Structures are given as structure tokens and as C-alpha cells.
């Protein structure tokens, strides 16, 4: 009965192309011999012709080939090749400014590009490329370049326009740059979907799944707490974070070593530190978490502080469950929480 119910649940998710099931299952289609991710845009098979698998490995062991449409061997959220090329170009050439006509000349629909960037970066493509230039200009001014030189080297046609855009981003003129803090952010792909990561020179301050409803609010909060401006770009800590996350999902890393920069109240800091003491593959109830803090009556406050955690996976709030053993309260979705717990248990047993 349970198997039939789950089959129906997964099939309806497949029909809806529901992205919240990315990483939960892969579907093998017996009539074609291929397997797909839940969001595949190909024509849907009949329910009696599909089998659901929990992993790529399982699907391939049963003889299925990866679908060429949805490319299930790629991490969920991979940028379309043309968009990835745009991002690479913008990272390489700070003078580059692409308008709608330039996108059309490349065979891209500006409205479609706009929607993709809104979904994945919470901003339009044109805002993204403008802020990329501002971020690079900020770095060059901070490390000694003249304001006028930096403005023209990063694609701004006039000093006045550069100063207006800069002040809008930072709230101050370029001459006061040395007093400013930047949160550099970018996407990191994972088997559970893309995550938005933000870092300062001091450490990681944000790591959330891009489909989390509270993500825009979290970005605003962290900017306010750090008195900083969040801008897209590249940073050595983002590369380190991506490498450590890849190792975690591959099962070869259990403890993150990247530095953290997570401002909060004294109580929040204590809760987040306590979370980091829960061992890989371990579980702790909210009640036990409160007891660890020496405040057994503060269960609700502990749960709220867990919910305020802005560093998914690294500060492992997914390892906290209800007193009755049930999964509760995870901003990335309970299906992701279950996946992470199963993932850790699998590799804990393997080692």
C-alpha cells in the first residue's frame, strides 16, 4: 500500500515537473530504456511504464541510459550552456556590456534570460552584469586604483554615471570605499539543487538553497547585520566552499574547515556552535539541544535560532529532529532534510 502511494506521489510530481523533488528520485521509462530527473520536459510516459529510483547509480544498474533532454548526470540547476558562457564572459571582461540586441544576436530571448537570472540570482541579467562591474571596480579602488581609472576600466562611460551606480549599490560615494564591506555571492550546484553562497574576506556568511522562500529576506538581513553590500562575483572562499561541498556530497568530507562569518545574538551564536558539535550522521532533538546549552526550558527559542541559521549543511541544523523522532522545520524542505540524513548515514556505514 505504501509503495503504491509513493509511486502515485512521484508520478504526479513527474507530471507537474516539480523542482522540489530534484534529488529525491529518478524515473526509469521501460518503453524507452532511459531515465530522467523529475523536471524533464519530455513527453510523460504512462504510470504503468515507469519505475522510480533513489539514485543515478540505481537507475543505471537496472540498465537505463541517461536522458539527453534533462541530462540527469548533471547536478540540478546547471546553467544552460549559453548562459554559462555569458557569465564566463562577464567574469573575464569587465568592459563587456550586453544589451537586449546583443542577446538576440546570440540567439537568446532577453525575456527568457531575464527570468532565469531572476530565479537563480534574484536579479535581472542587466542588473547582474552592472553589479559585476561595480564589484570589480570596488576591489580595484580599495586596493589603490584611482576612482576615474577604475570607472573607465570597468566599462562605465562617464565618471558621473559610475558614481551614481556606485552610490546606489553601497549607499556612499566611491571615495569612501575603504570603509565598506562586500559580500561576494554566487551559485554553487549540488545534487539537491543550486545554492546561493555569500562570503566576505572573513568567511562564509550565507549558504541557502535558491528556491527557499525566505532567501531574499536572509540576504537583506545579512547585509544589515554586517553593514555590507551583496554583489555577484568570484572569491577564493567561494571556490573553497564549492570544493568542500562537492567532497561532502561525494561522501569524502565529514567536517567543514572553511572559516565562518555568521553574526547573531549571543544566544544564536551559542545555538549555532552547539549545532556544529552534532557529529556527522548523528541526530539530536530540540529538547536535547536546549539541554546541551544548559537551558532545558528554552526549546522554542532553540528551534527559532535553528530556523535563523543562514548556513545550511555547514551548520547542520538538518541533524535536529522532533522529540518524537519525526522530521520538523527545515527551510530547504523536509525532503532535503531526509535526503541529507540518509546521505550521511550511508557514508557513515560505509566507513
For the stretch 180-234, pLDDT in tens is 788 998 889 888 888 999 999 999 999 998 888 788 888 889 988 998 888 888 8
Rank 79-83, 124-128, 159-163 by mean pLDDT and report only the highest: 124-128
Radius of gyration over alpha carbons of the chain, in Å?
Answer: 23
CATH pick for 76-173 out of 1.10.10.60, 2.40.50.140, 3.90.700.10, 3.90.1150.10: 1.10.10.60
- 55-69, 75-89, 189-203 — which is least confidently predicted? 75-89
| DSSP-derived pairing of the beta strands 65-66 and 34-36 | parallel
Mean pLDDT of the chain: 86
Percent of the chain whose predicted confidence (pLDDT) is above 70: 88
- Contact in structure between 134 and 166 (CB atoms under 8 Å): yes
Between 95 and 212, residue with greater pLDDT: 212
Question: What is the pLDDT, as a whole number, of residue 215?
Answer: 86
Least confident of 115-124, 182-191, 223-232, 284-293: 115-124
For 60-76, give one letter per residue: b (16+ CB within 10 A) or e: beeebebbeebebeebb
Q: Catalytic residue positions?
A: 317
* Exposure on the CB side of residue 167, measured as CA atoms within 13 A: 9
Higher per-residue pLDDT: 311 or 21:
311
Task: Please name the CATH architecture into which domain 261-350 falls.
Answer: Orthogonal Bundle (1.10)
Q: In whole angstroms, what is the distance from residue 197 CA to residue 203 CA?
A: 11
Answer yes or no: is pLDDT of 95 > 60.
yes
Per CATH, 76-173 and 261-350 having the same topology is answered yes
Lowest mean pLDDT across 70-84, 148-162, 315-329: 148-162
Lowest mean pLDDT among 12-21, 138-147, 337-346: 138-147
Q: How do the domains of the chain map onto residue ranges?
A: 2-66, 76-173, 261-350
The distance in angstroms from the start CA to the end CA of the chain is: 34
Q: What is the value of pTM for the model shown?
A: 0.70
Q: What is the pLDDT of residue 145?
A: 63
pLDDT at 144 over 60: no
2-66: which CATH architecture? 3-Layer(aba) Sandwich (3.40)
d(CA 12, CA 4): 12
Amino acid at each position: 500500500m505504501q509503495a503504491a502511494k509513493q509511486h502515485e506521489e512521484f508520478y504526479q510530481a513527474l507530471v507537474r515537473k516539480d523542482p522540489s523533488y530534484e534529488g529525491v528520485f529518478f524515473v526509469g521509462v521501460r518503453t524507452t530504456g532511459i531515465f530522467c530527473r523529475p523536471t524533464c520536459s519530455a513527453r510523460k510516459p504512462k504510470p504503468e511504464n515507469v519505475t522510480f529510483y533513489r539514485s543515478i547509480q540505481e537507475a543505471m544498474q537496472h540498465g537505463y541510459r541517461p536522458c539527453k533532454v534533462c541530462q540527469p548526470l548533471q547536478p540540478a540547476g546547471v546553467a544552460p550552456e549559453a548562459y554559462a558562457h555569458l557569465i564566463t564572459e562577464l567574469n573575464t571582461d569587465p568592459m563587456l556590456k550586453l544589451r537586449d540586441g546583443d542577446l538576440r544576436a546570440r540567439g537568446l530571448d532577453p525575456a527568457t534570460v531575464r527570468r532565469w537570472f531572476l530565479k537563480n540570482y534574484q536579479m535581472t541579467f542587466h542588473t547582474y552584469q552592472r553589479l559585476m562591474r561595480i564589484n570589480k571596480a570596488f576591489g580595484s579602488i580599495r586596493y589603490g586604483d584611482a576612482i576615474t581609472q577604475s570607472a573607465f576600466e570597468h566599462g562605465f562611460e562617464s565618471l558621473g554615471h559610475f558614481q551614481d551606480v556606485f552610490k546606489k549599490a553601497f549607499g556612499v560615494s566611491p571615495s569612501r570605499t575603504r570603509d565598506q564591506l562586500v559580500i561576494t555571492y554566487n551559485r554553487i550546484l549540488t545534487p539537491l539543487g543550486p545554492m546561493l553562497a555569500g562570503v566576505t574576506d572573513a568567511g562564509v556568511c550565507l549558504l541557502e538553497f535558491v528556491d527557499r522562500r525566505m532567501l531574499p529576506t536572509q540576504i537583506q538581513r545579512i547585509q544589515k547585520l554586517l553593514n555590507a553590500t551583496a554583489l555577484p562575483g568570484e572569491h577564493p572562499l567561494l571556490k573553497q566552499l564549492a570544493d568542500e561541498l562537492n567532497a561532502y556530497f561525494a561522501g569524502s568530507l565529514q567536517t567543514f574547515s572553511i572559516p565562518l562569518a555568521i553574526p547573531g545574538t549571543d544566544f544564536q551564536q551559542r545555538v549555532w556552535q552547539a549545532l556544529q558539535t552534532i557529529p556527522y550522521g548523528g541526530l539530536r532533538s530540540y529538547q536535547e539541544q536546549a539541554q546541551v546549552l544548559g537551558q532545558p526550558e528554552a526549546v522554542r527559542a532553540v528551534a527559532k535560532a535553528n530556523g535563523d541559521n543562514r548556513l545550511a549543511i555547514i551548520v547542520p541544523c538538518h541533524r535536529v529532529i522532533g522529540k518524537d523522532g519525526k522530521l520538523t522545520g527545515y527551510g530547504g524542505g523536509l525532503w532535503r532534510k531526509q535526503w541529507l540524513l540518509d546521505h550521511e548515514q550511508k557514508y557513515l556505514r560505509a566507513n
